[in-house]
Amino acid sequence: MNYFYFPLEEWTNDFVNDWLLPVMGGFFDSISVPLRSFIDGVTNLILAIPPEIIAVLLILLAWKLAGKGTALFTLIGCLYIGSVDLWAETMQTVAIVIVSTIIAIIFGVPVGILSAKSNVIDKIVRPILDFMQTLPIFVYLIPSILLFGLGGVPAVIATFVFAAPPAVRMTRLGILQVPQEVVEASKAFGSTSKQLLFKVQLPLAVPTIMAGINQTIMLALSMAVVASMIGAPGLGSIVLSGISTVNVGLGLIGGLAIVVIAIILDRITQGIGNKL
Amino acid sequence: MNKIEVNNLTKIFGSHPQQGLKRLKNGEQKSEILEKTGMTVGVNQASFAVKPGEIFVIMGLSGSGKSTLIRLVNRLIEPTDGEVFIDGEDITKMDKNTLIDTRRKKLGMVFQKFGLLPHKTILANVAYGLELQGVSKQEREQKAQETIKDVGLSGYEDSYPSQLSGGMQQRVGIARALANDTDILLMDEAFSALDPIIRKEMQDELLKIQNKLGKTVLFITHDLDEALKLGDRIAIMKDGRIVQIGTSEEILENPANDYVSNFVKDVDRSKVLEASHVMKKPEVLLTYKDGPRVAVRKMEEAGVSSIFVTDKEKNFKGLITIDDAVKAYQNNIPMEEVLITDNIYSTSPATPLNDLIGIAADVKYPIVVVEDEKLLGIVSRVSILSGLVLGKEKDEVEST
Ligand SMILES: Nc1ncnc2c1ncn2[C@@H]1O[C@H](COP(=O)(O)OP(=O)(O)OP(=O)(O)O)[C@@H](O)[C@H]1O
Ligand SMILES: [Mg+2]
């Protein structure tokens, strides 16, 4: 089938080495510096709070939003994480999840709104989202190290790429799901498009958007191990060192902690969606 | 000046509406255009005018373009061609802000599936139009409160739409439209989702509101009875085209074409009326034993000029006029002698109205409805007015 040679490989390498790194390096620094301090800020903040307070807050939240069972599970889960001495690592992972999710929301919700309002934008956005979700992670993981260095920043970027699409898709879906007559009624009484968006479409889309954010959080957590491969601290690195030293026990306690956190965050964010 | 005036309004759904418009103007039919171009003609060169304070009904089968037409009037749908004047201003040419302002100040709308905001309370729903205009919370809630009271929903201010029955939700829909104080109400099958009893109630309510507030109403329905009851004038649509405009009588007596007469006939056939459906309780019953004096007094009290007579078992005996009763009283003649028993047409409760129409026009006194010789009610000429039209329609069909 090779009728001609398509030098995509060489072009890409030339592009990265001759232009992206030397010319755009400053630009990427300007992203990575504030992002790094954002991640550090969040990490330091939640590490500065005594674990007991965080645990109590989580349990109360779980109770309010998801019921007694989840509250009990949260209590046991927090005790487990403390007792296997993984609290700090857990908080580091949670920090990366929080930062990636916030960025995913900041980017995903507006893009979702735009693609709900315009078919053209939707046609452009949709393949990009497919690309983001299906491109093997390692393909962009390595370049993101080149561009952003090791540590939390490329981890957040890679996590964002993988986890943002549900936020976009579900925002769009949530807005399009608003019954036609409700939208018409609002217009018929003289709403501007801004009023329509903020008084009708977004409030009614919130449960769906929350479901999207819930998925974003789950996907972000599932990236924890991958993120640790590029130097992000946290539970992923525990699992990774468990695997690489054939320390099955270490791998298990780290892995279980990820599952515990995943379940707690899932139930709480679902609870928010249902309450709204 | 007309409140609403629609000139040659056309809406074509599809990729090249202008091309479809050319075909329409060349006289091609909706079906031809669909077949050749895949485009759907929603509304085809419709023209009509609604006078201030008028209830103008648009009627047509499903898919005939009623919803599209009413949405062109407040430009929820962009027209392909034509003009819509609201108080003399062409809404199709307005810029965005003027359009929004016109909707706020001049056009209220009520929807078939209510279109209430599920996340807002009843109070907030009714106040929504005013909220959009930036009216202060206190002021708009006060106005909403009054309107909610007007539609009989006091006490439900803090409920949510999902907690209310369909009829109540539509009252909220109407209150929301009234709260804005617009002159015009657009109602797209506003009562079609309600069950028959509630529906009747809401129709009466609308007539009351219209009487009191003098709103101009553009009302859409596919129900002939509803159209007859509400409409000052009725327009009938077919395939996007208005095929006839007229008062109920005009449309029923002189259907413009087979489509209209079929429409009229079909709707009526589904609801064959019988004498018992339209009969009224006689104003006063007089037992046979009562003398002429009592008869005169009772007629006086009831403000009628004749009275039906029965015995204790309600067996129908006849009728006495006021003149005869007075004569009998003055000359001391017994009641039996002035009792009129012939020239009174009696019928059974199950008799179709059709059979009574010719008779009703000829007889001097109301038709009496009897069963087992007992008087059940009377049917006057007035009470078969709607059925009168039905009968004429049927005669024509039979004679052709
Ligand atoms: N957004 C749209 N896109 C394409 N075609 C449409 C659209 N809206 C309506 N139509 C078509 O236009 C025609 C008129 O539809 P419309 O909804 O106005 O009918 P209707 O008289 O209100 O019917 P119903 O009694 O069922 O409500 C139909 O053939 C319909 O399929
Ligand atoms: Mg319709």
Q: pLDDT-based confidence at B258, cuts 50/70/90?
A: confident
Name the more confident of B367 and B160: B160
Model confidence at B270: pLDDT above 50? no
- Report pLDDT for A80: 96
CB B184 within 8 A of CB B3: yes
Is the pTM higher than 0.95? The answer reads no
Domain residue limits, chain A? 29-275
**Domain check: are B227 and B282 in the same one?**
no
- DSSP 8-state secondary structure symbol assigned to residue B223: -
Euclidean distance between CA atoms A155 and A161, whole angstroms: 10
Task: Please give the biggest Cα pair distance in chain B.
Answer: 89
Pairing outcome for strands B306-310 and B316-321? antiparallel
Is B374 within 8 Å of B348 (Cβ atoms)?
Answer: no
pLDDT given for residue B280 in this prediction: 77
Residues of A in contact with B118 (CB under 8 A): 182, 204
B101 burial via Cβ count (<10 Å: 0-12, 13-18, 19+): middle
> Residue B382's pLDDT band (boundaries 50, 70, 90)?
low
- Taking the C-alpha atoms of residue B312 and residue B294, their distance in angstroms, rounded to an integer, is 16
The pLDDT value recorded for residue A122 is: 95
What is the mean predicted confidence (pLDDT) over B25-40? 90
Do B353 and B250 belong together in one domain?
no
Could you give the number of structural domains in chain B?
Answer: 2
Closest CA to A204 of B385, B299, B120, B366: B120
Residues in A whose CB is inside 8 Å of some CB of B read: 179, 181-182, 184-192, 195, 199-200, 203-204
Which of these ranges, A9-23, A206-220, B93-107, B155-169, has the smallest mean pLDDT? A9-23
Least confident span in A201-215, B71-85, B312-326: B312-326
- Domain shared by B122 and B227, yes or no: yes
Q: What is the sign of the dihedral through the CA atoms of A157, A162, A163 and A167? A: positive
CA A125/CA A167 separation, integer angstroms: 13
B353 vs B276: CA distance, rounded Å: 9
Q: Are residues B201 and B296 in the same domain?
A: no
Query: Which of B229, B245, B267 is the C-terminal boundary of a domain?
Result: B267
Of B100, B112, B176, the CB nearest to A190: B100
Pocket lining for ligand 1, CB < 6 angstroms: B 13, 40, 42, 60, 62-68, 222
Domain membership of residue B177 (yes or no) is yes
Measured CA to CA, the distance from residue A165 to residue A159 in angstroms comes to 11
Contact state of B115 with A185 under an 8 Å Cβ cutoff: yes
Highest mean pLDDT among A191-200, B312-321, B373-382, B388-397: A191-200
Q: A13 has which bridge partners? A: none
Q: Cα–Cα distances in Å, from A181 out to A114, A186, B74, B149, B159? A: 21, 8, 14, 25, 20
- Among chain B residues, the shortest Cα distance to A183 is held by B115
Residue in chain B nearest A191 by alpha carbon: B132
**Of A72-76, B81-85, B188-192, B342-346, where does mean pLDDT reach its minimum?**
B342-346
Whether residue B301 sits in one domain with residue B224? no
What is residue A140's predicted lDDT score, i.e. its pLDDT?
Answer: 82
Same domain, B258 and B354: no
Domain membership of residue B317 (yes or no) is yes
Q: pLDDT higher for A50 or A274?
A: A50
Q: What is the CATH number of the domain that holds B155?
A: 3.40.50.300
Taking chain A, what is the end-to-end CA distance rounded to the nearest angstrom?
56
Same domain, B223 and B285: no
pLDDT at B370 over 70: yes
End-to-end CA separation in angstroms for chain B: 42
Question: Residue A44's pLDDT is what?
Answer: 93
pLDDT in the model for residue B266: 54
pLDDT digits (tens, 9 = 90+) for B52-89: 999 999 999 889 999 999 999 999 999 999 999 999 99
Q: Which is higher by pLDDT, B161 or B320?
A: B161
What pLDDT is attached to residue A144? 82
Q: What is the pLDDT of residue B383?
A: 66
Span A175-185, pLDDT tens digits: 999 999 999 99
Contact (CB<8Å) B129/A199: no
Residue A182: list chain B partners with CB under 8 A.
115-118
User: Which three-class secondary structure state does DSSP give residue B165?
Assistant: coil
Report in angstroms the alpha-carbon separations of A209 from A130, A169, A195, B367: 19, 9, 19, 68
**Cα dihedral sign, B6-B8-B13-B16:** negative
Which CATH number does the domain housing residue B301 bear? Answer: 3.10.580.10
Distance, CA of A129 to CA of A194 (rounded, Å): 26
Residue type, B110: V
Percentage of chain B beyond pLDDT 70 is 91
Count CB neighbours of B92 within 10 A: 17
Contact B103 A190 (CB under 8 A): yes
Averaged pLDDT, B132-152: 93
Looking at the fold, whether B35 and B175 belong to one and the same domain comes out as yes
Cβ within 8 Å, pair B103-A187: yes
Mean per-residue pLDDT for A201-215? Answer: 93
CATH number of A29-275: 1.10.3720.10
The tokens describing B84, both together, are 């819509």
pLDDT band at B271 (very low <50, low <70, confident <90, very high): very low
- CA B330 – CA B340 distance, rounded (Å): 18
Q: Give domain status of residue B396, yes or no.
A: no
Do B263 and B280 have their domain in common?
A: no
Same domain? For B86 and B234 the reply is yes
Q: Give the tens place of pLDDT for each residue, B340-358.
A: 888 888 888 877 776 777 7
| Nearest C-alpha in B relative to A194 | B132
Residue A63 pLDDT more than 50? Answer: yes
Region B194-221: what's the mean pLDDT? 89
In-domain check, residue B392: no
Largest CA distance in chain A: 67
Task: Give the residue from B220, B238, B267 where a domain finishes.
Answer: B267
Chains A and B: how many Cβ contacts under 8 Å? Answer: 64
What are A121-168's pLDDT values in tens digits? 999 999 999 998 898 888 888 888 888 888 888 889 889 999 999 999
Q: Kindly report the number of other CB atoms within 10 A of residue B302's CB atom.
A: 12
Distance of CA B82 to the CA centre of its chain: 28
Q: What is the number of the ligand closest to the CA of B43?
A: 1
| Dist. CA A164–CA B257, nearest whole Å | 61
Interface check for B133 against chain A (CB to CB < 8 A): the answer is yes
Please judge whether A189 and B180 are an interchain contact, meaning their C-beta atoms are less than 8 angstroms apart: yes
Using CA positions, which residue lies closest to atom 17 of ligand 1?
B67
Cβ–Cβ < 8 Å for B325, B299:
yes
What is the DSSP track for chain A? Answer: --SS---HHHHHHHIIIIIIHHHHHHHHHHHHHHHHHHHHHHHHHHHHS-HHHHHHHHHHHHHHHH-HHHHHHHHHHHHHHHHTT-HHHHHHHHHHHHHHHHHHHHHHHHHHHHHHH-HHHHHHHHHHHHHHHHS-HHHHHHHHHHHH-SSHHHHHHHHHHHHHHHHHHHHHHHHHTS-HHHHHHHHHTT--HHHIIIIIIHHHHHHHHHHHHHHHHHHHHHTHHHHHHTT--SHHHHHHHHHHTT-HHHHHHHHHHHHHHHHHHHHHHHHHHHH-
3-state secondary structure of B367: strand
pLDDT reported for residue B283? 66
How far away, in angstroms, is B197 Cα from ligand 2 center?
22
Q: Using most ligand atoms within 8 A of CB, pick from B68, B77, B242 the residue to mutate for ligand 1.
A: B68
- Residue B202: the pLDDT is 87
**Spacing, Cα A129 to ligand 2 middle (Å):** 37
Across residues A17-24, what is the average pLDDT?
A: 83
The CA distance from B70 to the nearest CA of chain A, in Å, is 11
SS3 labels along A24-46: HHHHHHHHHHHHHHHHHHHHHHH
Q: What is the pLDDT of residue A189?
A: 96
Range of the domain at B166: 4-267
Q: Are residues B294 and B204 in the same domain?
A: no
Please indicate, yes or no, whether residues B243 and B343 belong to a single structural domain of this protein.
Answer: no
In chain A, residues with a C-beta closer than 8 Å to the C-beta of B131 are: 199
Q: Nearest Cα to B159, choosing from B126, B132, B191?
A: B126
Who among B71, B119, B129 is closest to A189 (CB)? B129
Q: Give residue for tokens 């468990």.
A: A242
Residues 6+ apart with CB under 8 A from B29: B239
Of A182, A188, A195, nearest to B76 by CB-CB distance is: A188
Residue B123 exposed, middle or buried by CB count within 10 Å (0-12, 13-18, 19+):
buried
Last residue of a domain, one of B213, B248, B267: B267
